[in-house]
Amino acid sequence: MTVRLDTIRECLEGVIPGHIATGDAEGMPNLAYLSQVQFIDNEHVALSYQFFNRTRQNVLAGSPVRLLLTSHLSGAQYRLNLKYLRTETAGPLFEQMKAKLAGIASHEGMSEVFRLRGSDVYRLLDIEQVPGLTLALPPPAVNYLTALRRATGRLTACGSLARLLETALDCLGSEFAIGHVMLLMHDEGRGRLYTLASRGYPESGIGSEIPVGAGIIGICARERIPIRIGFMTSEYAYGRSIRRSVEADGQGDSLETAIPLPGLPEAGSQMAIPITAFERLLGVLYVENVADLHFGYDDEDALVAFAAQLGLAMHHHQQTEELAEDVPPAEAAAAPLTGPPLLVRHFAANDSVFLDDDYLIKGVAGAILWTLLSDFVERRRTSFTNKGLRVDPRIRLPGVSDNLEARLVLLQRRLEERAAGIHLAKTGRGRFSLAVDRPLQLISS
Amino acid sequence: MLDSDNAAFIQTGVSISLASCAPDGLPSMNLGLGCKLVDAGRQVGVFLRRSQSLALLDNIRSSGRIANVFSLPSSNHTLQLKGSDARIVPFSPEDLPIIERHIADFVLEVIPLGMPEAVVRAILAYSPDDLVTVTYSPCAAFSQTPGPKAGEPLATR
């Protein structure tokens, strides 16, 4: 094979629709347009099966398959020789293609028509470049190897989970030139993802939630596979429509809906990348852009490699905070507080916490805050440890696998955003301190 | 075989492609550079670049069977014609204006869709001495416009 498929993947995006040729038993050819070609590896591709048409009949009857693909960047054309292997009707590949097709269908005004029935997997036997005039490829917007090298270098220099997450999002902007990013953490016990950091939105959305399985981010989490969509589609929206469906399911109460999700109202391009470590899903990186077809296979590869580094680093920091514990500093006596008291109200039913009647947070992070503030008011306690929280019966953490450090980062961020006069600060590995600016009045309901 | 609407359609700024199978079943295909009606509309002639179509032309010589697709990018309106009497004839320089007009029409069709003109012109670049004409009598016609009726045979005239 003279051409490697991974070097011509722009041809698979369908900017210039590809052709598929097959033949029947009598040797009568059939020619049709392709909705999408999915790169699996250099020896395998998948084609979308939407209709039981002549192409499909010929393929199932054993016809050799030829594709004609064209680069929208250079005008180069390639003929690919394929052999049909199998059809997948569920699972990661199917979900990747289904999401991509939803975008294509919406773009083509075919949302009611295009429905993925299966992902037909083919072995790639040969690629032949069609002779003819081609243009020089334009320089890429980003050198991904340089971006990856610099970004992963910056991750290794981070000393805490909070610093790591900030650096990761900064890198996506400065090294990868991605302007709209969200990082969501996986709440394994509740089947949710919660936003821990974002860039490029008027509101950070920290604390907002998405159920696993809902929208592009939720499907990425469920299947643990990158999902990339090149055109705007309501089918994979992750905003209000998701909440409506969850509320209809009767789960609305447990989903964080008071904090709005960030997001572009009309994203042309969306990509969600799972962050995993040692077979566990830690979270999802989500990026978007107003332009159509903004993210390609190279962007996807670069972010998958970046997310792999990020996942290992996140795992490391979580372990460090749980296992190690720096010697506590001498607990400084809290200065006497003056001014009007801050009213802190706690509802035990869902652990929601309100500050002066304004909603702050609920769930595990709400339980943590209530515990810290209760200890502060009762005993003037300001120094805490991750280990202590882990075993505290008042908090009821979902399990050892839960990323407690991430929940502390979430709580810290929400408090900072609200400028409520309650501060959490790390004081060492596995330790943090609480500081309050005003007297507190706690009310439990 | 072709009604007047379809006859007119295939001569607008459509994308034209042609396929034929080898004796072992392996199809080959290439883009056409325009087409004309021959023999009072009973036949279609499609222009191909020989250097890009060696296997396709071999297949046509050996089987005479072809599939010919015409698609208008702006509407997705797509028509597939089949033929079993295809043959290759020398390109007549008198047909050059048809090719030039086809390329001009196609460029006008796809530029509003965001395609760079230079790329489109590279894809359709040709040298006149590289051209051949494939003629055939359409024996079947199918709508391939995406949708529930895709693949249905068109009523014949």
Residue A332 lies in a domain: no
The whole-angstrom distance between B41's CA and the closest CA on chain A is 22
> CB A195: neighbour CB atoms within 10 A?
28
Residue A139 lies in a domain: no
* B137, B85 Cβ separation under 8 angstroms: yes
pLDDT at A363: 87
A437 and A379 in a common domain = yes
A158 and A121 in a common domain = no
- Integer CA distances (angstroms), A421 to A356, A360, A380, A438, B81, in order: 12, 13, 16, 7, 75
A300 and A153 in a common domain = yes
Final residue in a domain of this structure, among A97, A129, A161: A129
- For the stretch B33-44, pLDDT in tens is 999 999 988 999
Residue A334 lies in a domain: no
Between B51 and A52, where is the model more confident?
A: B51
Please list the residues that pair with B134 across neighbouring strands: B46, B88
Q: What is the DSSP string of A251-296?
A: -TTTS--SSPP---TT-SEEEEEEEEETTEEEEEEEEEESSTT---
Which residue, A68, A85, A90, is CA-closest to A18?
A68
Distance CA A226, CA B99 (A): 44
Sequence-ordered alpha helix ranges (H) in A18-160: 54-60, 92-108, 144-156
> CB A149: neighbour CB atoms within 10 A?
12
- For the stretch B104-138, pLDDT in tens is 999 999 999 888 999 999 999 999 999 999 999 99
* B47, B133 Cβ separation under 8 angstroms: yes
- For the stretch B53-78, pLDDT in tens is 999 999 999 999 999 999 999 888 89
B59 is written with which tokens?
């297949």
Report, as ranges of residue numbers, the positions in chain A whose pLDDT lies below 50.
Answer: 240
A187 and A261 in a common domain = yes
pTM of the predicted model, to two decimals? Answer: 0.88
Q: What is the DSSP string of A56-79?
A: HHHHHTT--EEEEEE-TTT--EEE
Distance CA A19, CA A63 (A): 15
A370 and A226 in a common domain = no
pLDDT at A245: 55
Could you tell me the CATH superfamily of domain B4-143?
Answer: Electron Transport, Fmn-binding Protein; Chain A (2.30.110.10)
Chains A & B: contacts with CB separation below 8 Å: 121
Distance CA A228, CA A250 (A): 30
Which residue of B52, B67, B146 is in closest CB contact with A130?
B52
pLDDT at A136: 94
Residue A330 lies in a domain: no
Number of domain units in chain A: 3
The whole-angstrom distance between A29's CA and the closest CA on chain B is 5
A270 and A162 in a common domain = yes
* B130, B95 Cβ separation under 8 angstroms: no
Give the mutation candidate from A20, A28, A70, A114 for the B interface (greatest B CB count, under 10 A).
A28
Q: Is the CB of residue A341 less than 8 Å away from at least one CB of chain B?
A: no
Residue A240 lies in a domain: yes
Which residue of B25, B69, B118 is in closest CB contact with A31?
B69
ipTM of the complex model: 0.95
A299 and A189 in a common domain = yes
Distance CA A102, CA A110 (A): 9
The whole-angstrom distance between A25's CA and the closest CA on chain B is 8
Dihedral angle, C-alpha A212, A216, A221, A227, nearest 10 °: 160
Cβ neighbours for A182, distance < 8 A, ≥ 6 positions apart = A195, A197, A198, A205, A217, A262, A263, A285, A286, A287
Check residue A95 and report its DSSP letter: H
- Whether B150 sits inside 8 A of A51 (CB atoms) is yes
* B128, B93 Cβ separation under 8 angstroms: yes
Domains of chain B, residue spans: 4-143
A180 and A305 in a common domain = yes
Residue A181: give the domain boundaries: 144-323
Check residue A12 and report its DSSP letter: G
Distance CA A282, CA B111 (A): 44
CATH of the domain at A91: 2.30.110.10
pLDDT confidence of B155, banded at 50, 70, 90? low
The whole-angstrom distance between B21's CA and the closest CA on chain A is 6
**By a Cβ cutoff of 8 Å, what residues of chain B touch chain A?**
17-21, 23-31, 49, 51-52, 63, 65-69, 71, 76, 78, 80, 82, 84, 115-116, 118-120, 122-123, 125, 142, 144, 146-148, 150-151
Give the mutation candidate from A15, A30, A53 for the B interface (greatest B CB count, under 10 A).
A30
- Whether A135 sits inside 8 A of B119 (CB atoms) is yes
Could you tell me if residue A132 is left (phi over 0), alpha (psi between -120 and 50 degrees) or otherwise beta? left
If DSSP codes are grouped into helix, strand and coil, which group holds residue A356? coil
Final residue in a domain of this structure, among A323, A357, A382: A323
A177 and A74 in a common domain = no
Residue A163 lies in a domain: yes
Q: Is the CB of residue A58 less than 8 Å away from at least one CB of chain B?
A: no
pLDDT at A366: 92
A297 is written with which tokens?
């296979």
A233 and A199 in a common domain = yes
- Whether B78 sits inside 8 A of A19 (CB atoms) is no
Q: Is the CB of residue A70 less than 8 Å away from at least one CB of chain B?
A: yes
Please list the residues that pair with A30 across neighbouring strands: A22
Q: Residue A10 is which amino acid?
A: E
- Integer CA distances (angstroms), A239 to A245, A300, A341, B123, in order: 11, 23, 36, 41
CATH of the domain at A349: 1.10.10
A163 and A121 in a common domain = no
Residue A184 lies in a domain: yes
A184 and A69 in a common domain = no
Instruction: Look up tokens 């040729």; give the residue.
Output: A21
Q: Count of alpha carbons within 13 Å of B148, Cβ hemisphere only?
A: 1
